[in-house]
Structure 1
Amino acid sequence: MHDPRIDLLAKQLVRYSTQVQKGEKVLLDCYDTPPAVALALIRAVVAAKAIPVVKLHDATVTRELMKHATPEGYEMLAKNNLDLMKEMDAYIAVRGSHNITEMSDVPAAKMQLVMDKLRPVINERVNHTKWCVLRWPTAAMAQQAGMSSEAFEDFFFRVCLLDYKALLPAMNALKKYMDAASKVHIKGPGTDLTFSLKGLKAIACGGTHNIPDGEVFSAPVKNSVEGVVSYNAPTVYQGMAFDNVRLEFKEGKIVNATSNNTKALNKVLDSDEGARYIGEFAIGFNREIREPMRDILFDEKIAGSFHFTPGQAYEGVADNGNRSSVHWDLVCIQRPDYGGGEIWFDDTLIRKNGKFLPKDLQKLN
């Protein structure tokens, strides 16, 4: 039996998130999703009188390709993908995951090769298309979240079909606070971090680029980061699980990094020069997302959280000039049940224990 919520989601992605117009070309990138997802997206694009282009992916096939990656092979693949992306006006990716550690045995050198070769494709998509990316609920994701498959599916659609438009006034108010801030000071258990946002503009994300959504992001002045941050949300990166990540900074650079897997953590941070600098600072506030589930598109939006991201900045958007093949959204939750914490913009306490204090931001609580 067809779930009508799939059609509602497809319509939201096409009409609201990417605002597809007549005659536009839309790339639909589906990873390990049921056929009903691609069918609903095609129909929504056609209803908008636009042109759908579909790519279907299987993680086990991708893993096999990555294990045998060569510079020549991925240069050809990247050129093909880049040429296609340059033809697109909009991009919608729906990404399922039957096994979040599927890529865990891909050699690090192969993973690095693939990321380096495909980075121009990602940059083209981010900078030159109307794009939106979301997960698809699977039994593996339900297990990560500690929920039954049915309960997680209900949670997924509740979160993704949130009325993001109603949050935009408060989100734009937070953007103005971030735009005006010179110094940011973040305090909490194991965290005492300072950096500057001066001259860098913030971006409010209300369902137009990621689903689920609910964040405002910017980037720190590259060399301004000082202090230490302890992340209390577990994460997966390049198929490996990391817990209790702790980073120390001096003049913007990560000079010490520890976790449950310190060796692997530092290997990622040594991928290139930019991996030890921060490319994004963001505040998350999706009221429907409360607990981490090792899926970054959900975890970075957790109510009362922030993320502080080693690696690539968003070129031409909130751009501090940092360049890297890495972009790792590491999350710290500051609600009282996770130890609390504070975010200060200059001399103003903006958020305490996960709750915004200024009146014009309180709709985000």
Structure 2
Amino acid sequence: MHDPRIDQLADVLLDHSCQLQKGEKILIEAIDLPEPNLVCSLVEGAAARGAIPLVTIKDQNVQRSLYRTATKESMDLAAKFEKARMEEMNAYIGIRGAANSSQHADVDQPQMDLYQEYWSQVVHTLIRVPKTKWVVLRYPTDSFAQAAKMSSRAFEDFYFKVCTADYAAMAEAQKPLVARMEAADQVRIVGPGTELEFSIKDIPVIPCNGDRNIPDGEVFTAPVRDSINGKISFNTQSRYQGTVFSDIVFEFKDGKIVNASANEPEKINAILDSDDGARYCGEWSLGTNNHVKHPMLDTLFDEKIGGSFHLTPGQAYEIADNGNRSRIHWDLVLIQRPDYGGGEVYFDGELLRKDGRFVPDDLQGLNIGLNEGP
């Protein structure tokens, strides 16, 4: 039986996220989906809008084999054809199912570096992100529900509720936060194991409300590249390149991560040594989606958690550019609600957020729903 929520989600992706127009070409890329219902709805919906859909289906088992056997020549060849295709597109929707989210855990770091530098960066960082109307999302699977510590049925209900949120209302609530971030210079963050300072002066501020990620809910900018000093202790696990990292602690001096520790110290330092920009940060963002309360080892959800922020070693986005360039972009999340240890964020000495709740009167709309539900 067809679930009508699939069609509702497809409409959000086509109309709100991609704003798809007649005659435009759209690439729908699906990875490890358990069934094709959403892809079919997107194809039929794109065609009904007079657009031209193209579909590619990928399997993470096959991708693992490609990464494990990667050479510069093989990654160059893959990028050549995917680059040519992406350059033809006006829009892109990426749907990831991931039957096994740790599928790439045994791919050696040098091989992943080859993929990142010669394939991913060429196709996605240099073409898809700056030159198409794009959106990426996960798909509800049993393994996804397990990571969220929920039954499959309960997770499915949660997933569709969060992914089809009122993004127009979210955009309105974010406006005063955007104004405050644009006016701010010095940011100070304190919490358990954390005392961090940096500048965001003159870096563009970008509100995210359903036009690039589903689910969405964040306002991001970037630290001035050499301005970060202090220590940060992340309290949220992160799965990156197939490995689950926890207890991540960074020490910064003049923007650079000079000391990094975690449960996998060798792996985390290997990632941070990928290139010259990997130990500098390219993004800082405040999470504003209060429907998402707890981490589930999935960055697209975890980075939006109400009362959280994330800090990102690696590549800066061109639309909020601090000049940092890297083949990695790793969003790491710290939740500051009381149930995760609390904490404070200050802008130029003024308390902006305490224990996950925004303090100024003009930001109270961003607190709605923060203390509701599980």
TM-score by length of 2: 0.96
2:297 equivalent to 1:294 = yes
2:141 equivalent to 1:133 = no
| CA offset digits 1:108-136 (Å, max 9, x no partner) | 11111001012021121110111111000
2:149 equivalent to 1:149 = no
What amino acid sits opposite 2:302 in the alignment? D
Question: Which of 331, 334, 338 is the equivalent residue of 1:332?
Answer: 334
Question: Which of 200, 203, 206 is the equivalent residue of 2:203?
Answer: 200
| 3-state SS, counterpart of residue 44 of structure 1 | helix
Question: Counterpart of 1:43?
Answer: 44
| 3-state SS, counterpart of residue 267 of structure 1 | helix
Question: Which of 177, 191, 200 is the equivalent residue of 1:174?
Answer: 177
In the alignment, the residues of structure 1 paired with residue 336 and residue 2 of structure 2 have an alpha-carbon distance, to the nearest angstrom, of: 40
Question: Counterpart of 1:63?
Answer: 64
2:109 equivalent to 1:108 = yes
In the alignment, the residues of structure 1 paired with residue 15 and residue 49 of structure 2 have an alpha-carbon distance, to the nearest angstrom, of: 8
In the alignment, the residues of structure 1 paired with residue 28 and residue 362 of structure 2 have an alpha-carbon distance, to the nearest angstrom, of: 37
Question: Counterpart of 2:54?
Answer: 53
| 3-state SS, counterpart of residue 320 of structure 2 | coil
Per the TM alignment, residue 334 of structure 1 is displaced from its structure 2 partner at its CA by: 0.2
Question: Which of 339, 360, 367 is the equivalent residue of 1:358?
Answer: 360
- Higher mean C-alpha deviation, range 65-74 or range 220-229: 65-74
CA RMSD of aligned residues (A): 0.8
| 3-state SS, counterpart of residue 14 of structure 1 | helix
- Higher mean C-alpha deviation, range 115-124 or range 299-308: 115-124
In the alignment, the residues of structure 1 paired with residue 180 and residue 260 of structure 2 have an alpha-carbon distance, to the nearest angstrom, of: 30
In the alignment, the residues of structure 2 paired with residue 68 and residue 275 of structure 1 have an alpha-carbon distance, to the nearest angstrom, of: 24
Question: Counterpart of 2:15?
Answer: 15
Runs of at least 5 residues in structure 2 that lack an aligned partner in the other structure: 368-374
Question: Counterpart of 1:77?
Answer: 78
Question: Which of 252, 256, 278 is the equivalent residue of 1:253?
Answer: 256
Per the TM alignment, residue 82 of structure 1 is displaced from its structure 2 partner at its CA by: 1.0
Question: Counterpart of 2:371?
Answer: none
| 3-state SS, counterpart of residue 56 of structure 2 | strand
Question: Counterpart of 1:90?
Answer: 91
Per the TM alignment, residue 172 of structure 1 is displaced from its structure 2 partner at its CA by: 1.9
Per the TM alignment, residue 167 of structure 1 is displaced from its structure 2 partner at its CA by: 1.4
Per the TM alignment, residue 360 of structure 1 is displaced from its structure 2 partner at its CA by: 2.1
In the alignment, the residues of structure 1 paired with residue 99 and residue 229 of structure 2 have an alpha-carbon distance, to the nearest angstrom, of: 39
Question: Which of 307, 319, 323 is the equivalent residue of 2:310?
Answer: 307
- Checking the alignment, whether the CA contact within 8 Å between 1:167 and 1:363 is kept in structure 2 is no
In the alignment, the residues of structure 2 paired with residue 350 and residue 270 of structure 1 have an alpha-carbon distance, to the nearest angstrom, of: 34
Per the TM alignment, residue 5 of structure 1 is displaced from its structure 2 partner at its CA by: 0.5
Query: Which 4+ runs in 1 deviate beyond 3 A?
Result: none
| CA offset digits 1:298-338 (Å, max 9, x no partner) | 000011000000001012x0010101111110000000001
Question: Counterpart of 1:122?
Answer: 124
What amino acid sits opposite 1:318 in the alignment? A
In the alignment, the residues of structure 2 paired with residue 29 and residue 174 of structure 1 have an alpha-carbon distance, to the nearest angstrom, of: 33
In the alignment, the residues of structure 2 paired with residue 261 and residue 107 of structure 1 have an alpha-carbon distance, to the nearest angstrom, of: 14
| CA offset digits 1:144-198 (Å, max 9, x no partner) | 1111111111111011011011111221211111111010001111111000011
In the alignment, the residues of structure 2 paired with residue 152 and residue 170 of structure 1 have an alpha-carbon distance, to the nearest angstrom, of: 26
In the alignment, the residues of structure 2 paired with residue 153 and residue 243 of structure 1 have an alpha-carbon distance, to the nearest angstrom, of: 26
| 3-state SS, counterpart of residue 230 of structure 2 | strand
In the alignment, the residues of structure 1 paired with residue 290 and residue 244 of structure 2 have an alpha-carbon distance, to the nearest angstrom, of: 26
TM-score by length of 1: 0.98
Aligned residues: 364
1:263-274 alignment to 2 at 5 Å? 263-274=266-277
2:188 equivalent to 1:185 = yes
Per the TM alignment, residue 347 of structure 1 is displaced from its structure 2 partner at its CA by: 2.2
Question: Counterpart of 1:323?
Answer: 325
2:287 equivalent to 1:279 = no
- Checking the alignment, whether the CA contact within 8 Å between 1:170 and 1:360 is kept in structure 2 is no
What amino acid sits opposite 2:155 in the alignment? F
Question: Counterpart of 2:370?
Answer: none
In the alignment, the residues of structure 1 paired with residue 123 and residue 180 of structure 2 have an alpha-carbon distance, to the nearest angstrom, of: 33
Question: Which of 346, 349, 357 is the equivalent residue of 1:347?
Answer: 349
Runs of at least 5 residues in structure 1 that lack an aligned partner in the other structure: none
In the alignment, the residues of structure 2 paired with residue 222 and residue 145 of structure 1 have an alpha-carbon distance, to the nearest angstrom, of: 34
What amino acid sits opposite 1:11 in the alignment? D
Per the TM alignment, residue 83 of structure 1 is displaced from its structure 2 partner at its CA by: 1.1
| 3-state SS, counterpart of residue 278 of structure 2 | helix
